[in-house]
Structures are given as structure tokens and as C-alpha cells.
């Protein structure tokens, strides 16, 4: 019988040495669209379009106190800020940013990025997203971009035992690790407090404990009238619709069951706007792109060839230096020609045909929530 325990990614993030290389392989919506591209209708990078979408939804207040939780390589918030400065320079003068991450390496990387551009209004804090060292009502915009999947997930919850525990109030699930045991007890509290449903769960299922804790921290830190923006990989379209492991370099993340997040958000009193991320971010989901599996293979191949080909720098820029970026048919065709992979035009056409997918095949897995605190 599987044992209930907690999956965490903190060791991976705490031990990042060179984040620009350790982040290779994380193919997400914001990663593949981080530069100017042909998929966002405005042509803007993801972070700039995020600003435009939040600005047009009246989510930026007069004295913006912006909190980003989980910063990655700080590419999203970097471009967000540049766009903010260009669109509304007067409002931007009053903007303050707080960036929170568990990884000191990522925070140092961000500080270097901002110091090079002389932006001293960014404050970085090393902290756990589920236990923020911030005062209540201290921020009026919170950004959580593809972060919940990195937070603790309680795995192998026994459905029958949980049902009895909720009914009787007695703990039946034995967990030796004290920290994991506390997280499980808090999980039971969440199911009871928010009325989270699990009738359709398999006999043993996984639960986004860290995602709900982050939501509770957002509710505490956000000021009345403030907005929290969340983008996540939604696992509900997957078999059973419950979080499944996503194997990445040196760590495992879990998809997010967003209906649990949404139910808890309602319980916390948020007003909710939600839908597909490509709708909110003005992404043309019908446009054809090279599928993400082929992108990953191409990216790894070019990393191997980086020191062997004279035009490797051009090719790496075309595909993405640290992780793959979205490519159109035309862009992929140029790369194939440069690599001289295929001699016959028919082979090239067959490769192009087999690897092209509508953007929606990828972007349709990502949902957003705009949470307004009343």
C-alpha cells in the first residue's frame, strides 16, 4: 500500500548553482514566449503582455506595491517593469516591487539583472512561499506565474481514510516524518474548511497542499481591493484529473487541480475571473508551432553542438539560449537548413508536417485566475 508523504522541490531550489543552466528543460508558457514572438498578437514578450493585460483589467493601483512569488530567471517581471515604465511613466514612479524566492542563486541572478539597469526599486527576499515574512495587507498586486507546481504536494492520500477522518475527526493516517505529518493534518483541515470535493479521486491521489497554503498567504498579504494573478498547468484534463508527477531535471513537480484552488479562493472571499491563459494574454492559440517535445530535442541537440559548429551562436539564439522558445514553421525551416540535417526537400517537408501543432495543444493546458480581494 503506498505511503502518504510530501513531495518537495526545496532541495533543488536551495542548491541551484547556475540557475541559467539548471532551468534548462522547463518548457512552460512563459518560457517559450519570453521573447518577442509571432504567437502573442501584440508581438510583445510574455512579461510585457502580462503587464498590458493586467493594466487593461484595472489591476494596477495608484501606488503599486507589486509582489512576485517565485521569480525564475526574473525574465517575466523584468519585461513587465520595462513595459510599465513605457506605458504609464507617471504611475511607474510610485511602483515598488518585492520578489520572493527560496533560491538564493535566483535572487542573486535577479539582483544582478536589475543593478545592471540601475533599477533600485526592487526588493528581494529569500523565503518560503507558503510562509511569507510580509505584513498583512502590504501589497496590492501579487503575481504567481507557474509557481504552484513547485510547492509541496501531499502524495498518495488514502481516499477512504480521508473520508473517515473528515467524518470522525480522528487521525488514521500514520506518517513518521513530523513535518510531513503536520502538512497532512493541515491538508485534512483544508478539505474540511473549504469543502473540497474528492468523490472522483482514485483510491490514492495527490493534493496541491502548497498551492492552497500560497492562496491563504495571498489572502493575508493582499490589501482590500488588491488583485492576485495566477497562471498554472491545469491537470484536470489529464487521466483522473488529479496532480501527477512531472519529471524535470533533478526534481519533480506536480500539475495543479485548479478547481480545488478556485473552491478555496471562494472560501477566502475572493472575487474570481478565470479561463485559459491564452485568452487573457492575447495569444493566438490557433497558430501553428513546433510541438514542445520536438523543441526540447532540438534545444538539447544544439547544446551538444554549441562548441562544434561555427554558426552555433546564431542557432542557439534562434532556438533559445537557456530553454526552448516557440517556433513557427518558417523559423524551424531556417534552422533545419542551417543544420543541414536533411538533403531532400521531401524529408524536410515530412519533418515539418510531423512536428507542427496548433499553439492550443500546449497553451490549452494553462489556466489563469484573477483574484480580487473584497
Q: At residue 107, does pLDDT exceed 60?
A: yes
Distances from the Cα of 266 to the Cα of 182, 218, 349, 369, angstroms: 24, 13, 50, 12
Q: At residue 361, does pLDDT exceed 70?
A: yes
Q: pLDDT category, 99, cuts 50, 70, 90?
A: very high
Q: What is the pTM of this model?
A: 0.93
Q: At residue 365, does pLDDT exceed 90?
A: yes
Torsions phi, psi of 76, nearest 5?
-65, -50
Q: pLDDT category, 308, cuts 50, 70, 90?
A: low
Segment 153-188, tens digit of pLDDT: 999 999 999 999 999 999 999 999 999 999 999 999
pLDDT of residue 340: 72
- The mean pLDDT value of the chain amounts to 91
118, with CB counted inside 10 A (0-12, 13-18, 19+), is exposed
Percent of the chain exceeding pLDDT 70 equals: 90
Class of domain 6-153+203-285+361-373: alpha beta
pLDDT of residue 199: 95
Q: Where are the domains of the chain?
A: 6-153+203-285+361-373, 288-358
- For residue 102, what is the DSSP state? S
Between 206 and 18, where is the model more confident?
206
Parallel/antiparallel/unpaired status of strands 65-69 and 5-7: unpaired
**Longest distance between any two alpha carbons in the chain, whole Å:** 70
What does the pLDDT average to over 267-294?
95
Integer Cα distance of 126 and 106 in angstroms: 10
Segment 113-135, tens digit of pLDDT: 999 888 889 999 999 999 999 99
Q: pLDDT category, 9, cuts 50, 70, 90?
A: very high
Between 22 and 280, where is the model more confident?
280
Least confident of 46-50, 88-92, 98-102, 105-109: 105-109
Cell of 38: 509571432
Segment 310-351, tens digit of pLDDT: 555 655 565 665 668 899 999 888 887 877 766 677 877 888
Amino acid at each position: 500500500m503506498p505511503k502518504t508523504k510530501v513531495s518537495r522541490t526545496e532541495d533543488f531550489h536551495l542548491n541551484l548553482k547556475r540557475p541559467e543552466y539548471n532551468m534548462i528543460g522547463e518548457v512552460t508558457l512563459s518560457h517559450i514566449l519570453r521573447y518577442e514572438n509571432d504567437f502573442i498578437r501584440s508581438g510583445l514578450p510574455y512579461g510585457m503582455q502580462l503587464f498590458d493585460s493586467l493594466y487593461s483589467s484595472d489591476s494596477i493601483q495608484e501606488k503599486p506595491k507589486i509582489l512576485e512569488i517565485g521569480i525564475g530567471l526574473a525574465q517575466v517581471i523584468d519585461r513587465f517593469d520595462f513595459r510599465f515604465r513605457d506605458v504609464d511613466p507617471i504611475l511607474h514612479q510610485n511602483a515598488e516591487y518585492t520578489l520572493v524566492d527560496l533560491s538564493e542563486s535566483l535572487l542573486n541572478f535577479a539582483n544582478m539583472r536589475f543593478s545592471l539597469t540601475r533599477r533600485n526599486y526592487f526588493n528581494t527576499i529569500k523565503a518560503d512561499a507558503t510562509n511569507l515574512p510580509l505584513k498583512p495587507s502590504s501589497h496590492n498586486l501579487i503575481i504567481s506565474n507557474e509557481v504552484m507546481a513547485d510547492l509541496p504536494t501531499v502524495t498518495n492520500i488514502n481516499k477512504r481514510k480521508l473520508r473517515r477522518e473528515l467524518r470522525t475527526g480522528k487521525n488514521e493516517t500514520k506518517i513518521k516524518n513530523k513535518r510531513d505529518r503536520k502538512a497532512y493534518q493541515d491538508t485534512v483541515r483544508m478539505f474540511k474548511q473549504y469543502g473540497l470535493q474528492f468523490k472522483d479521486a482514485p483510491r490514492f491521489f495527490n493534493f496541491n497542499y502548497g498551492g492552497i497554503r500560497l492562496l491563504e498567504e495571498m489572502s493575508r498579504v493582499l490589501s482590500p481591493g488588491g488583485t492576485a494573478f495566477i497562471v498554472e498547468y491545469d491537470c484536470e484534463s489529464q487521466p483522473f484529473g488529479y496532480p501527477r508527477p512531472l519529471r524535470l531535471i533533478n526534481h519533480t513537480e506536480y500539475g495543479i487541480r485548479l478547481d480545488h484552488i478556485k473552491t478555496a479562493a471562494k472560501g477566502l472571499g475572493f472575487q474570481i475571473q478565470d479561463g485559459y491563459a491564452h485568452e487573457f494574454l492575447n495569444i493566438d492559440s490557433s497558430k501553428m508551432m513546433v510541438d514542445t517535445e520536438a523543441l526540447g530535442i532540438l534545444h538539447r541537440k544544439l547544446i551538444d553542438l554549441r562548441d562544434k559548429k561555427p554558426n552555433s551562436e546564431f542557432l542557439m539564439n534562434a532556438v533559445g539560449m537557456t530553454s526552448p522558445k516557440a517556433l513557427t514553421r518558417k523559423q524551424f525551416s531556417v534552422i533545419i537548413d542551417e543544420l543541414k540535417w536533411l538533403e531532400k526537400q521531401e524529408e524536410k517537408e515530412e519533418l515539418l508536417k510531423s512536428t507542427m501543432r496548433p499553439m492550443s495543444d500546449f497553451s490549452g493546458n494553462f489556466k489563469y485566475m484573477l483574484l480580487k480581494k473584497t
